[in-house]
């Protein structure tokens, strides 16, 4: 599935099942909330925190998908073509950081 397809699928779901998009500001707040939930799973699974009772079944993939979902909603609402934006961002990073990481002694 291409990113354009994901954007279309989310838009279709919103318009047929979800009734309408939440406001951009509400979705930004929800994105922040979802990133926090992802951070909680990461801290417990890969970090030093332990799982609290009842958190043992937290699903890393599901939390990442939640973040993607809300990000796609925001892109749709604001007219951002995420596929094009990602390509442009990769080009920028490749040009800017072509030698930077190779020369970083911290990464060796």
Q: Contact 99/18 with Cβ under 8 angstroms?
A: no
Total domains in the chain come to 1
Domain that holds residue 69: 3-81
Residue 108 lies in a domain: no
Residue 43 lies in a domain: yes
Residue 92 lies in a domain: no
Q: Contact 72/81 with Cβ under 8 angstroms?
A: no
CA distance 5 to 82: 11
Residue 102 lies in a domain: no
Residue 77 lies in a domain: yes
pLDDT exceeds 90 at position 99:
no
Distance of CA 25 to the CA centre of its chain: 16
pLDDT tens digits, one per residue of 18-62: 999 999 999 999 999 999 999 999 999 999 999 989 888 899 999
Q: 20-29, 59-68, 94-103: lowest mean pLDDT where?
A: 94-103
Residue 104 lies in a domain: no
CATH at residue 48: 1.10.287.1080
> Quick one: pLDDT at residue 83?
97
Confidence of residue 88 (pLDDT cuts 50, 70, 90): very high
């Amino acid at each position: 599935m291409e990113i354009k397809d994901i954007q279309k699928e989310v838009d279709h779901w919103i318009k047929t099942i979800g009734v309408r998009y939440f406001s951009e500001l509400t979705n930004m707040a929800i994105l922040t909330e979802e990133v926090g939930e992802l951070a909680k799973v990461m801290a417990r699974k890969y970090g030093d925190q332990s799982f609290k009772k009842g958190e043992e079944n937290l699903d890393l993939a599901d939390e990442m998908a939640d973040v993607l979902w809300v990000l796609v909603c925001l892109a749709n609402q604001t007219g951002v073509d995420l596929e094009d934006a990602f390509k442009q961002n990769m080009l920028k990073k490749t040009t800017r950081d072509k030698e930077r990481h190779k020369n970083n002694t911290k990464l060796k």
